[in-house]
Amino acid sequence: MEKSLEQFKCIERISRQTRYHRTYLNRVYNQHLRTQLDQLDSQCERNIERSTSRQQLEEKRKLVLSSTVKQIVGERSQKPSLSKDAIQTKHETIQMISKDNSKYNNTLSV
């Protein structure tokens, strides 16, 4: 009987140690999980901030692009475009000037 009582006490002690160790491991694991959760939370906040700033930059770019396009359209509507006749006249004028220059250069070299 004494032997069975000693065995029972030994089993009880081992069981208590096992429960204590399991509790300790659960605390360590919970702390580890809490740390990971905090890291993920801060990473998520940083990603949201980056996303928000990228979105704001993209909106600014769109505004600049649209104002640039409006400005270009306004400038084009203010300036009359050159007709084909005007372009042809300019080409003829350039050709006449170059012929005159070549005649002048030829007379100087003679």
- Please give the pLDDT value at position 85: 66
Segment (H or E) for 69: helix 2-78
Cα–Cα distance for residue pair 44/37, rounded to 1 Å: 10
Cα–Cα distance for residue pair 76/73, rounded to 1 Å: 5
- pTM value? 0.48
CA separation, residue 92 to residues 28, 72, 79, 83 (Å) = 91, 30, 23, 14
Cα–Cα distance for residue pair 11/22, rounded to 1 Å: 16
Output the tens digit of pLDDT for each of the chain's 110 residues.
788 989 999 999 999 999 999 999 999 999 999 999 999 999 999 999 999 999 999 999 999 988 898 888 888 777 655 566 667 777 777 777 776 666 655 555 54
The domain segmentation of the chain, as residue ranges, is 2-79, 80-110
In the chain, the amino acid numbered 109 is S
